[in-house]
Every structure is written in structure tokens, then in C-alpha cells.
Amino acid sequence: MKLRSIVIFIVLGFLSTVIYYVNYKLLVVSLVWSGIIALLHYFMERTSRISLFRTIFFAILAFSFLMEMHIFFNQENSFLPYCHIGMAGNVLNIGYNEFLAIKNQTFLRYGALSIGIAWLLIILINGGGFCSYGCFFGGIDDTFSQLLRKPLIRISSSTKFREFQFALLIFLIAISFIYSYSVFCQWLCPLKLSCSIINENSRTYMFQVYLFIGIGLVFLVMLPFLAKKRFFCSVICPFGALPPLVHKFTPYKITIDKSSCSKCGKCSEVCPSFAIVKSPKTSIPHITRFCTLCMRCASKCPTKSIKQTLYNRKETSLIPFISIMLGGAVSLFYLPNAIIDLINFLCSLKI
Amino acid sequence: MFTQNIIEAFWLGLSMGGFCTVSCAPFVIPYILADSNSKFLPRIFIFCQFLFGRLAAYILFAAVVSFISISSEDFLTMKVNNILLIAGSLLMITFALFKIDFRFCQISGWSKATRGFPLLTGFLLGLNLCPPFLIAIIKVLNMHSMLNSCLYFLFLFIGTTIYLIPVAFASALFKSEFFKRMGTYLAILVGIWFLIQGITGLL
């Protein structure tokens, strides 16, 4: 087994022990899951089929989150300090609450200075990688975008399309600050269907329910399935606008080797994030700042011209290692609980 | 509530400021600045006159609208108000989607007529009845207070002016397609937000 996979197991195993040392059942499941992550990474390196094993990991992660938080409703035992998607659009309110806390000589355990900085560091280290390895939302539309062999609707990549996210982020930050609540969570998050509809009889809440169902069906399921593109992550997600903003400063990038590129455009076609555009002059594809490091382009490139690089120069193979480690660390907070709940549920069916 | 109104006005100003910048201001501001000599202070003075004209128009408009709302307490019921809000936001979305020119006031024609009078140009530009401006009027109609209405329009003015200041000095930057698209997207989003507010108000 390669050294990096062993490092992944050791780090995640240590984290599992720290989180679950009081509950041996969860600790065992957590250690097994850490081993599975290390194995998936091993296969990524051994077979070079990074995209395939990433998809398996990402799908498990996203659907276990969905199961735990929104089907078993185990929001007490499972623990997520703060949803990064909700936080992105609510950043001014979170900063203001932190300010009030400091003014009252206290400190928010999960505020702008703790969890906010942690997210910022993750983006700076891993760029868009978190969107392809760690995001429990992204895994849903990513999975649906991989179900068909060929897209039924063809949508060409365009950065104009992705720029909408910047406007949405600005809008959400401002409007959430004006009304002092997270507008994204209240009006746009389809996962809120199962947990935050307080008064189902109110007409406004019913309007919200229809909005959640509509957004979920269209952007998380139908469009990704039909067009093989990650529509929710590319259009609706406010967090998705953050990695492109710091893309220049992130060390790990995907780069196209222009000398060996055959200009076939396959990479641009398969990119689920609308991140690869063809240069109008030379026809050589160019990977833009919207890249989420999913490596689907590399797996489809006939000339193997797409490489992982450090600052677009030195070739590296660290992207899956760092990304799967970060995604795996986040998953430890809810995935072991999901597995236990699933086992309990299946056992109760037998009885 | 008062603070919320002020922030909302400022935000509405930010949203419509993008359109002012990309559609109206590039025609007017370089034109005004071209009238002055190349020295910095005279250019600033002319630009300030232009801004003062706009501010005067905004405050005057707020005062008139609030006078109407105060003199007729039941001038608009909540339902009519929400319907107007829906109509205004739909208009705003339509204009943004189909890239219809926001220059209701025929600003290029006016700017020629008012050559050498930046104060007047600013005043006339301030009376531009674009959809976000209509939404602001509907909001003010509901306040029944002249002071609050004037403050609302003052912060609306500040929100739009934030865009105009850099344009005056770096208009080339804001001519970029990226800022035009941002303006369009923001107008659509703000339009949708007010549309939802109108619909939920009716429900």
C-alpha cells in the first residue's frame, strides 16, 4: 500500500479517536470508514482512475449526509459545526455576531474567527477541490450528472454562466444582512424541506416548500441528469463562488499541456462545472478559475495532456490526497452515525 | 425598522447603481468631465455639482411622494401596494433579461441640451423613472413620514453614487462586459426578491 494512503488512514483514524473515544461503536465504524477512504485513495493512485473513485467516495459522502440529516433526522448526534453553503451567503451576519460576542468579552465557538477561518484555509489550500470531494450537497448533483453515458441536453461551457454565482453571492450577503437571517437557508436550500418548515399551514411556508421542491428537482436532479453538468453547484451555491475568487492564490491546479493537446474539445464537453472553455483564436481549451479539481477531464483526454500541477508549473499528484483527506475529515462528523442508523433501521425491519 | 429601511434603500441603490453605471453614466459623466480642463480639482468640482443635482432631484421626489402618502392615509391599501411591487419587480426583471435600455429620460439628448450645466444634468438624471426607482417610490408611499422618505431616498442616492464615483475617474473599467453582466444579474436577483416579497405579501 502506498505511503500516502497509510498517512490518510493514520490521520483520519486519529481524528476518529478524538471525536468518538467515548462511543466504541461509532469509533469502530469511523475507523472502518477511514480505512475505506485510504483504500479508495490507494486505487486512485494505483489505477489512475481518479475520477471514478472520487465519484464513489463523493456519492457515499453526500447520500449518507442526506440519509442522516434528512431521513433519519439524527441532527442531535451527528455534528456539523456550520454549513459552509449557508455560511457563505450569511457571512456579514456571522461576522457581526462574532463582533457582538467579542464586545461582550466572550468568544463564539463556531463563529467567524473559528469555523470561518477554517473554511477560508480549506479554500486556500484546496481551491475548488472541496466542491468535488467534501461537499455533502455537491455529491448529489455530481452523482446525478454521472448516471447517463451521454447528455440528453447539450450545454456548452461558458464562464458567463458561472459569473451569475458572483452576483448571487453579493446579493445573498447583502440581503441576509438587511433582514438579519440567512436568505439562502430560508428560500433556496432544498435540504431545508426536511428540517426548517416550522408552520406548514402558513401560505408563505407552503410557497417556500414549493420553491425548495422546484429548486431541488430542477437544479439538483433533472438538469444534472439530463445535461451531465453540476447545475446546483455552478449556479445556485453561494459557496461555489468563493474558490474562484482565490483561485490565483491556490497552489494546486489542473493544467492542459498545450504542446500535446489535440484540440478535440472532449475536456470542455465533459467538464461538469462549465470550467473549461476553448480559446476562440487557437481552439486550445483553457481551464478557468471555476475548476473544481474533479479530474473528469483528465480521465477523458485521449492524449493525456491534462495534468495536476503546482502553480501551473511543476507536475504533482497531491490533489486527490489533500482533497480526499479534507473531505474524509468532514465526513467523520456524520457518516459513522449514518451507518449505525442504517444498520439499526435494517435490523428493525427484520424484527 | 428604521435601520432596516435605510440599509434596504442603500442596497436598492447598489442594485440600480449597476444599471445607472452601465447604461446612463458612461454617456453623461465623461461628457461632463470633458467640459472641464484636465486639472483635478475643477473636475471634482464639476462632478460634485452633478451629484448635488441628482441628490436634489431624489430628495424633491421623496418629499413629493411622501406628501401624497401623508395627505391620503388610505391612498394605497396593502394589496395594491403589493401588486405594484410585483409589477415593478416584473418590469425590472424583464428589462434586465431582454437588455432593454433603462434610459427613460433620453439622457443623451438632455445631456446635450444641458451642456455646461452639470447641476441641471444631475437633476434631470435623478428623475429617471427606471423600475428600481419605482420600487423605491412604492416603499416610500408606505412610510407616511416625510423625514423617513427623504432619508430613504438619501441612502438610495448614496448606494447609486458608489458606482458613479469610480466611473467618473475610471470609466474604462466599468465599460467591461463583466460589470455589465454583474449589473444585469443583480437587477434580476433584486427583481426576483421584490417579486417574492410582493407575492408573499398578497398570500
Beta-carbon separation of A167 and B200 below 8 A? no
Per-residue pLDDT reduced to its tens digit, A280-300: 777 889 899 999 999 999 988
Nearest chain B Cα distance for residue A55, angstroms: 32
- Among the ranges given (A35-49, A133-147, A155-169, B120-134), the one the predictor scored with the smallest mean pLDDT: B120-134
Q: HSE-up of B79 (CA within 13 Å, CB side)?
A: 1
Tell me the three state secondary structure of residue A346: helix
- Counting one residue from chain A and one from chain B, the pairs whose CB atoms sit within 8 A come to 39
Q: Chain B closest CA to A106's CA: distance in Å?
A: 26
Name the minimum distance, in Å, from the CA of B51 to any CA of chain A: 25
- Cβ of A204 and B203 within 8 Å? yes
Residues A250-259 have a mean pLDDT of 89
Q: Is B202's Cβ below 8 Å from some Cβ in A? A: no
For residue A251, give the DSSP letter. Answer: S
Band the pLDDT of A56: cuts 50, 70, 90. very high
Return the residue of A nearest to B191 by Cα.
A171
pLDDT value of position B103: 46
Taking a contact as any Cβ pair under 8 Å apart, which residues of chain B between 168 and 197 contact chain A? 178, 181-182, 185-186, 189-190, 193, 196
Containing A255, the helix (H) or strand (E) segment is strand A252-256
Mean pLDDT (chain B, rounded): 70
pLDDT of residue A231: 92
Q: What is the pLDDT of residue A2?
A: 81
Residue B42 has pLDDT above 90, yes or no: no
Answer whether A171's CB lies under 8 Å from A238's CB. Answer: no
Q: Compute the nearest-CA separation of A178 from chain B (Å).
A: 6
Split at pLDDT 50, 70, 90, the class of B33 is low
Task: Print the SS3 string covering chain B.
Answer: CHHHHHHHHHHHHHHHHHHHHHHHHHHHHHHHHHHCCCCHHHHHHHHHHHHHHHHHHHHHHHHHHHHHHHHCCCCCCHHHHHHHHHHHHHHHHHHHHCCCCCCCCCHHHHHHHCCCCHHHHHHHHHCCCCHHHHHHHHHHHCCCCHHHHHHHHHHHHHHHHHHHHHHHHHHHHHCCHHHHHHHHHHHHHHHHHHHHHHHHHHC
Set of chain B residues whose Cβ sits within 8 Å of the Cβ of A175: 11, 193
Classify residue B187 by burial, with Cβ atoms within 10 Å: 0-12, 13-18, 19+.
buried
Look at residue B108 and tell me whether its pLDDT is greater than 50.
no
Contact, B128 vs B105, CB < 8 A?
yes
Least confident of A240-244, A256-260, B123-127: B123-127
Shortest distance, CA B185 to any CA of chain A (angstroms): 6
Q: Which residues of A touch B182 (CB under 8 A)?
A: 163, 166-167, 170
Residues whose CB falls within 8 Å of the CB of residue B148, separated by 6 or more in sequence, listed in order: B2, B5, B66
Tell me the C-alpha distance between A58 and A264, whole Å: 28
Model confidence at B43, in pLDDT bands (50, 70, 90)?
A: low
Mean pLDDT of B169-184: 63
pLDDT digits (tens, 9 = 90+) for A196-208: 565 566 777 888 8
Q: Which residues of B touch A167 (CB under 8 A)?
A: 181-182, 185-186, 189
Query: Which residues of chain A lie closer than 8 angstroms to B97, CB-CB?
Result: none
ipTM above 0.85, yes or no: no
Mean pLDDT score of chain A: 86
CB contact under 8 A, B4 and A166: no
Q: Is the pLDDT of residue A12 over 90?
A: yes
Separation CA A134–CA A129 (nearest Å): 8
B4 CB contacts (<8 Å, ≥6 apart)? A178, A179
Q: What is the pLDDT of residues B12-26, one digit of tens each?
A: 777 776 666 655 565
Look at A178 and B196 and tell me if their CB atoms are within 8 Å: no
Q: Cβ contact (<8 Å) for B8 and A178?
A: yes
Which one of A27-41, A60-74, A79-93, A139-153 scores highest in mean pLDDT? A27-41
Which of B11, B186, B200 comes nearest A167 by C-beta? B186
Does A179 sit within 8 Å of B200, measured CB to CB?
no
